[in-house]
Amino acid sequence: MKGNLENKQVAIIGGGPGGLTLARLLQLKGVDVKVYERDINRDVRVQGATLDLHFESGLKVMEAADLMDAFKANYRPGADKGRVLDEHAKILYDEHDKESTEDFDDERFRPEIDRGPLRDMLLNSLQPDTVVWDSQFKSMVQIGNIWKLEFKNGNTATADIVIGADGANSKIRPFITSTKPFYSGVTIVQGNVPDSETAAPGIHKLLKGGKLYAYDGEKFLHVSSKGDGSLDFYVSCKKEENWIQNSGINFSDKTQVLAWFKEEFSKWDSVWLELAENVNLPLLLRPQYCMPLDQTWSTLPNLTILGDAAHPMPPSGEGVNLAMLDSLELSECLTNENFKDIQTAIASYEKQMQIRSAKEAQESLEMTEWMHSERATERLLQMLA
């Protein structure tokens, strides 16, 4: 079952969905694995909107990880339903009025789950002490065939194989390739409003437990309900790469955030102001980068990357699904006895991962382009129809 990982210690850097899924899949095959995560403990609040898992990727991985029953117990029925609105908060398209399926055998069904419950579900599936918390990666050096890892808290560890699952700002990626992602032209400003029913009643009513999408040429606004009663929103806007530093706006300051929002959404209905008036600060600021579509690198004998660490791209609804599919394919390659060694197994994984992610990145860039165009709403309504 272990293939080339017999008697090997695997270190996964990063305890997001991709890293935890890989750990689960490897442990099912008897592999010795540790996950090093920078969060202080598992109770740190998990930021980000809800995730939808797809039939051919995320849900397929849930089956392979023997976690489908746990997923069904934690997903949020109805949270996948969306509404398209104009800037005046007029509803243009409403999935709440449509027939929908909750059938996990239906390829069109994309059930939603909050990031926190997904992480808890994955953590609960791991052997005790698999995750080493408060372990922010600092550096590593190869001594013979072994990696020596050093963390910012002063602790060290060793591993035969290191896998970077540490996101778009990966510290592992530079050990593999000098190719840098390029700026996509958009920056996301993200926030969370606790207790939306009380704090933002207008938006909460429009949400109806699902999602909202509103477009306005240079930007679009996405709002999603969460199982804890809060809502997440993000504004994706066309800005120059260093806009955050050059804007002079302190996104930790309520007055400045409100002033920015009022200027950015000056032609929008006042109901949208509920978001800026009640958001937890500071806002999360995320310039969006994308991998070069033709990226390749020479496979290393005992080091690889997955998910956003390998293929950062603007959000397209595929991010977590791609990371989980990477984890499944990497686990299968590493434990496949037909590969003569670990390097050959990694090479097979990386080839398929790069082909798949290049296609998704191209589609992500095309989506980013039309979603920030004057005809974005019209285009979306045509697609939905």
232 annotated to bind ligand: no
105 assigned binding-site residue: no
Least Cα distance to 102 among 138, 77, 68 occurs for 77
User: CA 19: distance to chain centroid?
Assistant: 12
Q: Write the CB contacts of 155 (distance below 8 Å, at least 6 apart in sequence).
A: 135
- 52 in a labelled binding site: yes
Give the span between the Cα atoms of 29 and 3, in whole angstroms.
9
**Structural contact between residues 285 and 244, judged by C-beta atoms closer than 8 angstroms:** yes
Cβ(359)–Cβ(312) under 8 Å? no
* Residue 134 assigned as binding residue: no
Supply the angle between the helices 115-124 and 17-28 in degrees, to the nearest 10: 20
Q: Residues marked as binding?
A: 45, 52, 115, 308
Q: Residues marked as binding for FAD?
A: 52, 115, 308
Q: Residues marked as binding for NADPH?
A: 45
